[in-house]
Structure 1
Amino acid sequence: MKRFASQIPKEGLVLDLACGGGRHAKYLAMLGYPILAVDQDVTIVEQLKNPLITSKACNLELEEWPLAGLECEGIVVTNYLYRPHLDLLPKMLSKGGVLIYETFAHGNAQFGKPANPNFLLNSGELLALAARHDLKVLAYEDIYTDEPKPAMVQRLCALKAG
């Protein structure tokens, strides 16, 4: 994520989706971006007490998308996959906005969790997402990594034309 953060336009909101403890929100706020950090539990994020970070607790896996109508200059998603709402993310980007997505990929089961195919990207799945929404792919990887632990991951940085 850090490699691609500079691609996000400086003005406007950045969504840290499924933010967990807020490490990406904290990093992006340090760069001066206003952040909306969303997760089911945002207790740790609220403890950051950073004026650039707004937190929102909500269930991201409800049938009705809880972030409907939100427009962002950037969306960051790491270590999270919920396919029923995946195609909503590019629609939330403003023109010139950037999607940064990184999560576990097919083949990760050999290294432990997650091993459930529902939580693993299929080969080329993020590229297909970008193609469906006419996003310009700035960077893509489908690789083995050993940091912070051995895993198969896909990474995408893509731009919404405009």
Structure 2
Amino acid sequence: MSAPVSVLPPSSWITRFAHLLPDGGSVLDLACGSGRHARWLAARGLAVTAVDRDAEAIAALTGLPGIEALAADLEGGPWPLAGRRFDGIVVTNYLHRPLWPLLAAALAPRGVLLYETFMAGNERFGKPSRPDFLLQPGELLEVCRQQGLQVVAYEAGEVEAPKAAMVQRLCAVRGDLPRLPGRP
């Protein structure tokens, strides 16, 4: 019998904006790692495609209800999701800039992009510290502009939890912005 998988809780940024994902919709959890977001989203009735290059991490997700687990090298191999569209895409703690046009193309009309990763200045907290793995100021906003996405929310700066870091967080949609609660 294998040991239970220890999984961190989902990011507060992801849980804050998950209500924008359509009930029963499809979500891509890119570079999913242990699957903390995939598990959380699937438990809420979403059909999740969890992708990571770590075959062991993907194996732990295989067979879980609501999750399609896919091991793929996102940086050295071909794009494993050609022709597929998702109602939502979640990316946390991962940055590979050449994927941005592919992610935008994989976002369905009215689809939601939830992105949260490290930015310049994180070097003082440890890894990641290489510029290739750190967003530049305003970089996520510029990517959305280039890809024709509408920004719902954006934050950039220092966080203390789950560990001290410098991050950028973004929620964007393809197409019209969602209606705000309490507004006609």
Alignment TM-score, normalising by the size of structure 1: 0.94
Q: Are 1:9 and 1:96, in contact at CA under 8 Å, matched by a contact in 2?
A: no
Greater gyration radius: 2
> Partner residue of 1:117?
131
Q: Are 1:79 and 1:102, in contact at CA under 8 Å, matched by a contact in 2?
A: yes
Which of residues 141, 144, 159 in structure 1 aligns to 2:155? 141
Which residue identity is paired with 2:45?
G
> Partner residue of 1:81?
95
> Partner residue of 1:19?
32
* Runs of 5+ consecutive residues of structure 1 not aligned to the other structure: none
Alignment TM-score, normalising by the size of structure 2: 0.83
> Partner residue of 2:72?
58
Q: Report how far residue 65 of structure 1 moved.
A: 2.0
Q: Bigger CA drift: 2-11 or 53-62?
A: 2-11
* Runs of 5+ consecutive residues of structure 2 not aligned to the other structure: 1-13, 177-184
Which residue identity is paired with 1:140?
Y
> Partner residue of 1:9?
22
Q: Which has the higher contact order (CA 8 A, sep 6+)?
A: 1
Which of residues 26, 41, 45 in structure 2 aligns to 1:28? 41
Q: Report how far residue 160 of structure 1 moved.
A: 0.4
Q: Report how far residue 44 of structure 1 moved.
A: 3.4
2:172 aligned with 1:158, yes or no? yes
Which residue identity is paired with 1:83?
R
User: How big is the alpha-carbon RMSD for the aligned residues of Structure 1 and Structure 2?
Assistant: 1.4
Q: Are 1:21 and 1:42, in contact at CA under 8 Å, matched by a contact in 2?
A: no
Hey, what's the Cα distance between the residues in 2 that align with 1:31 and 1:12? 10
Paired residue secondary structure (1:81): coil
> Partner residue of 1:96?
110
Q: Report how far residue 137 of structure 1 moved.
A: 0.7
Q: Report how far residue 45 of structure 1 moved.
A: 4.3
Q: How many pairs align?
A: 162
Hey, what's the Cα distance between the residues in 2 that align with 1:159 and 1:26? 23
Q: Report how far residue 150 of structure 1 moved.
A: 0.7
